[in-house]
Structures are given as C-alpha cells and as structure tokens.
Amino acid sequence: MSADLEIQKAIFARLSSMSVPVYDDVPDNAPPPYVVIGDDTLLEFDSDGISGFEATTTIHTWSTYRGRKEVKELQGEIYTLLHRAELAVVGYTFVSCDSEFSESILDADGVTRHGIQRFRILIRE
C-alpha cells in the first residue's frame, strides 16, 4: 500500500464536496475555476516502536475571475475542508493535517489567478 497515494485519495475525498471540480490531472479545455491536487513529498516519520510518514501536499486553485476574490474564496473552502480535519487514510492511523501556507499570484498569461496552498499530513502505521 502506497502511503502517498492513500493520502491523495483521502484529500480528494475531502475536497470532492467543493463548489468547483477537483482534479489530479486537468482534462483538455476544462474551464476555470477548478482545483488541482498537486505535487507532494513523503518522509519517514518514525519513532521508537512507531512507523509513520510525514507528507506535504500542494493544492492549486485556478481562476480567470478578474481580481483575487474567487481564488481566495476557493482557498477558504479548501482551508475549511483540510486544516485540522480528520482524513480517512486507508491502512494508516491519521495523526494530523495542518495548513502550512497560502498565496495567490497572477499567472504569466496576465489573466489567470493561481492560488497555492500546502498542507502537512502525519500518519502512522
């Protein structure tokens, strides 16, 4: 069982109730706004007698709304759904999910707003 895949599945399950589509891979010509579960890291998080993992997952928000309002609203939805939420990570005991940072930027095309958030997840076997 892949811990990072199980974490991604748990995050996707939590975000599936969002007001916009959530993707792992964006379909061609998908209109914004939408959310993408992005890159992640996975580190061993072991202590005496306990094996576990520390993961970070980056969540991207995309919008063509003029201004940052839509991106910030979507980031608020994501924060509410993930920060301090209990994730159902199959095969592992969930420990915590905490927001690490959030930012929004104007994409290089000068039109698209891009929100970036990162969450830290701890699980143990």
pLDDT tens digits for range 13-62:
999 999 999 999 999 999 999 999 999 999 998 888 888 999 999 999 99
Asked if omega into 33 is within 30° of 0 (cis), the reply is yes
Position 10 scores a pLDDT of 97
User: At 113, which CATH number?
Assistant: 3.30.2000.30
Q: Give the chain's domain count.
A: 1
Instruction: Give the pLDDT band (50/70/90) at residue 101.
Output: very high
Q: Say yes or no to pLDDT of 1 above 80.
A: no
Residue 115 is part of which domain span? 3-124
Strand, helix or coil for residue 28: coil
Average pLDDT, the chain: 95
Position 51 scores a pLDDT of 87
What is the DSSP pairing of strand 34-44 with strand 22-23? parallel
pTM above 0.85, yes or no: yes
